[in-house]
């Protein structure tokens, strides 16, 4: 295929009309990268040492470039996802650079196949990049374009380690940076291991800080209830994804049995999964992953529905764009902070006093550090544009 795929898309939806109406998208570049993590990320499902992602650039005839990235956990899908984004760009040829119009066309194309998996990720990537175009065209940060302020967003530090000693040190470092809330992952061992880890982190952060835990879907429902009853005495802010993310009934059982709030949502695909979660009363709070929930457009729809249901909204991953989205979300709760992609950004996200600062630059504030990208030895293998 050609080095840059021809692509056209179009103006934002709802009340966020920008100065980008009529912009013409000339081409799209999609690049797969595999960014080394500063610390291995330990989970109940295994350890991650790199952060595979696809970077998207939408180039317009008017000289505005919209940028976004999606993170996919495994290198195995970098090539297929990069090619899929490239092919979707060709599908949108001869439309405006508007996420609303692009969404209508793509909804029609994928009505039968659906919008989950790699398709959903690719659609969200394009949506986020197009919103970046619109905000830049308006000369506004995305948060402002969406009707929010540039006030700092309340955040928590997401820890990488699952060993009590290392997690305690990491938690203390987070407190020293001003964080008043941290999250640690559980579920690699038994209940005794969970309690040891929770208590080590609690000792490091003190009694006044908030502590969340995340099982990454590792437990059967009955075991989640058994462990949760013991964790109820630990003063946790929430227990995240104790069992399979699509087991709404199972999570409802867990939520009904425990005093500690249940947090779900990072693996939900769009508003339909949110609706299922609300109907089942499966969680006390919700957290959206910008890549899975449907990009900026999907987030806006989901946030409106969550607010109507009285649910607080936190974010999962993607802190750069999530800060803008939470700033414009009336029911905003907490931003998950884990800086995986700062090494490839010219201006990594900033933290002050336990809050993430929303970039005041037009758009989402993401600009690639091309010199850093050139130092990644394998990124060219995944380049489709």
Torsion of CA 282, 284, 289, 292, to 10 degrees: 20
Pairwise CA distance, residues 147 & 145, whole Å? 5
Q: Which of 86, 183, 251, 316 is catalytic?
A: 316
Nearest to 244 by CA among 44, 38, 2, 14: 44
Pairwise CA distance, residues 338 & 277, whole Å? 26
Question: How are beta strands 25-43 and 46-60 bridged, if at all?
Answer: antiparallel
Q: Say which residues have a Cβ less than 8 Å from residue 286's Cβ, sequence separation at least 6.
A: 263, 264, 265, 268, 274, 277, 302, 306, 311, 312, 313, 314
Q: Which of 136, 185, 333, 355 is catalytic?
A: 185
Q: Say which residues have a Cβ less than 8 Å from residue 199's Cβ, sequence separation at least 6.
A: 164, 234
Tell me whether residue 251 is one of the annotated catalytic residues.
Answer: no
Q: Say which residues have a Cβ less than 8 Å from residue 181's Cβ, sequence separation at least 6.
A: 154, 155, 156, 157, 209, 210, 211, 212, 237, 334, 354
Tell me whether residue 185 is one of the annotated catalytic residues.
Answer: yes
Sheet holding 25-43, edge to edge: 5-6, 25-43, 46-60, 65-71
Q: How many beta carbons lie within 10 A of that of residue 149, not counting itself? A: 12
Q: Which long-range contacts (CB under 8 A, 24 or more apart) does 299-302 make?
A: 299/325, 299/329, 300/13, 300/14, 300/146, 301/271, 302/270, 302/271, 302/274
- List residues bridging with 6 in a β-sheet: 27
Pairwise CA distance, residues 198 & 134, whole Å? 44
Q: Which residues participate in catalysis according to the annotation?
A: 185, 316
């Amino acid at each position: 295929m050609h080095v840059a795929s021809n692509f056209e898309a179009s103006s934002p939806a709802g009340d966020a009309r920008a100065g980008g109406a009529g912009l013409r998208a000339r081409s799209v570049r999609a690049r797969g990268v595999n960014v080394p993590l500063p610390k291995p990320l330990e989970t109940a499902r295994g350890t991650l040492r790199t952060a595979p992602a696809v970077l998207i650039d939408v180039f317009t005839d008017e000289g505005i470039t919209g940028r976004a990235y999606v993170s996919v956990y495994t290198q195995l899908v970098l090539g297929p996802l990069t090619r899929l984004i490239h092919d979707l760009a060709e599908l949108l040829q001869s439309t405006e650079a508007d996420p609303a119009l692009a969404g209508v066309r793509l909804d029609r194309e994928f009505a039968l196949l659906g919008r989950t998996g790699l398709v959903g990720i690719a659609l969200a990537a394009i949506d986020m990049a197009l919103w970046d175009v619109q905000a830049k065209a308006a000369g506004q940060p995305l948060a402002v374009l969406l009707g929010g302020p540039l006030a700092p967003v309340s955040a928590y530090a997401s820890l990488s380690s699952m060993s009590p000693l290392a997690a305690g040190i990491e938690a203390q470092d987070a407190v020293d940076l001003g964080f008043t809330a941290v999250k640690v992952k559980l579920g690699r061992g038994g209940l005794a291991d969970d309690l040891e880890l929770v208590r080590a982190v609690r000792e490091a952060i003190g009694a006044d800080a908030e502590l969340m835990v995340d099982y990454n879907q590792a437990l059967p429902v009955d075991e989640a209830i058994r462990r949760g009853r013991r964790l109820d005495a630990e003063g946790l802010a929430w227990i995240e994804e104790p069992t399979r993310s699509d087991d709404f009934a199972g999570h409802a059982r867990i939520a009904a049995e425990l005093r500690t709030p249940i947090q779900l949502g990072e693996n939900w695909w769009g508003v339909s999964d949110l609706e299922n979660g609300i109907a089942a009363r499966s969680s006390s709070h919700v957290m959206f992953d910008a890549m899975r929930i449907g990009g900026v457009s999907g987030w806006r729809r989901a946030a409106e529905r969550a607010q109507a249901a009285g649910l607080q909204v936190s974010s999962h991953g993607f802190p750069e764009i999530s800060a803008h989205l939470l700033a414009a979300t009336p029911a905003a709760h907490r931003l998950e902070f884990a800086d995986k992609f700062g090494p490839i950004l010219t201006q990594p996200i900033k933290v002050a006093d336990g809050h993430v600062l929303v970039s005041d630059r037009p758009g989402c504030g993401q600009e690639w550090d091309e010199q850093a990208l050139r130092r990644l030895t394998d990124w060219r293998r995944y380049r489709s544009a």
